[in-house]
Structure 1
Amino acid sequence: MFVDGEGRSGFQAKSFAMRLMHIGYQIYVMGETITPAIRQGDIYIAISGSGKTKNTVNNTLAAKKLGATIIAVTSKQDSDLAKIADETILVPGKVKNDKTTTSIQLLSSLFDQSVHIVLDCLCLMLSKRDNISEEIANKNHINIE
């Protein structure tokens, strides 16, 4: 399984990857030096509020051509990213340069915060489904004392 995103969406992707690792999933972040090659049948999760972030869209297209299953996390159902995806998690929230949604928060903060909550909820659902307890997850957490 792979996650991808640029800027603050990239931070959300890394946060999601960390929690997935805690609950026992083998997960990689695009752009890291230890990320292996994508192969047919892999799951590729791309996060972009606008759904048009150039690097994220290009990487997602490449993953699709390699046979990965694409899951887009975006606020724009009609975006390039959503059109590539096999499945889309639609997360409402203002993104930068968005003229159709309003927020007192700057740029994409509302989307970023909402994505964090949605993906943490997904991890909770997966942990419940997979019977992963706090104790089990804690064994995968860094505990240097």
Structure 2
Amino acid sequence: MDVLRTIMDEIECVVSKVEKEEIDRVVNLIRKDRRIFVAGEGRSGFSAKGFAMRLMHLGYTVYVVGETITPALREGDLLVGVSGSGKSISVIDAARKAKEKKGVVIAVTSKKESPLAGYADQVLIIPGTVKGDTGESRGSIQLLSSLFDQSLHIVLDAVCLIISYRDDTANESATGAHW
């Protein structure tokens, strides 16, 4: 078995199933006139932090939930909660708090019917395998949530690229914001 080819095929299959309309709605919710907060755990959290960093490069005010310098979310702010299973407790808590403060919530998950999605104003489904999937529903040779996490990174990078086109932000400008 060609493991690398199989992994690439799996990622292509998942990314091709992401709904363009969902991406468009997510892009429309990300605006420079609102603060953006991201939340995630584990490897999904790493991708969420990468997304936050790229948004910062594009000129957005963005924070990572749980960091010591993160301010409180206010009415109108945006929370992007990332959880493959949609069951990560800290991400669900962040979404609940955001809704209590009249914030806007985007849930990025593989599970449309999940606790996280229940708090969302917009759900972005990335239908990659996550650690709780078993048997036929796994659909991947990879361990745990690897397929979701890889696909997540690609989709969030695509969101940033679309935003850069919309905002007319050149690569050179983003590079200038890079440490």
TM-score w.r.t. structure 1 length?
A: 0.96
Structure 1 counterpart of 2:94: 59
Give the match for residue 142 of structure 2: 105
In the alignment, the residues of structure 2 paired with residue 89 and residue 107 of structure 1 have an alpha-carbon distance, to the nearest angstrom, of 20
- Structure 1 distance, partners of 2:162, 2:142, is 29
| RMSD value, Cα | 0.7
Partners of 2:171 and 2:95 lie apart in 1 by 33
**Amino acid of the residue matched to residue 61 of structure 1?**
R
Aligned mates of 1:133, 1:56 — CA distance in 2? 32
Which one is further off, 125-134 or 96-105?
A: 96-105
What is the aligned partner in structure 1 of residue 157 from structure 2? 120
SS in structure 2 of the partner of residue 82 of structure 1: helix
CA distance in 1, matches of 2:143, 2:99: 32
Matched, 1:77 2:112: yes
Q: Aligned letter for 2:60?
A: Y
Partners in 2 of 1:78 and 1:10 — Cα distance?
20
Tell me how far apart the structure 2 counterparts of residues 110 and 60 of structure 1 sit (CA, whole Å). 24
Q: Tell me, what secondary structure is at the counterpart of 1:113? A: helix
| 1:54 Cα deviation from its structure 2 partner | 1.1
Gaps of 5+ in 1: none
**Counterpart among 35, 39, 44 of residue 70 in structure 2:** 35
Instruction: Report the number of matched residues.
Output: 142
Provide Cα deviations, 1:57-86, integer angstroms capped at 9, x if missing partner.
Answer: 112111111111000000000111111100
Counterpart in the other structure of 1:88: 123
Summarize deviations over 1:64-122 as a string: whole Å, max 9, x none.
11111000000000111111100001001000011223211100000000000000000
SS of aligned partner of 1:40: coil
- How far did residue 33 of structure 1 move? 0.9
TM superposition shift of 1:26: 0.6
Point out where structure 2 has 5 or more consecutive residues left out of the alignment. Answer: 1-35
Is the partner of 2:68 in helix, strand or coil?
A: coil
What code does the residue aligned with 1:129 have? Answer: R
| Percent identity of equivalent pairs | 56
The reply to whether residue 139 of structure 1 matches residue 176 of structure 2 is yes
Whether 1:15 and 2:50 are equivalent positions in the alignment is yes
TM normalised by structure 2 equals 0.78
Residue type of the alignment partner of 1:122: V
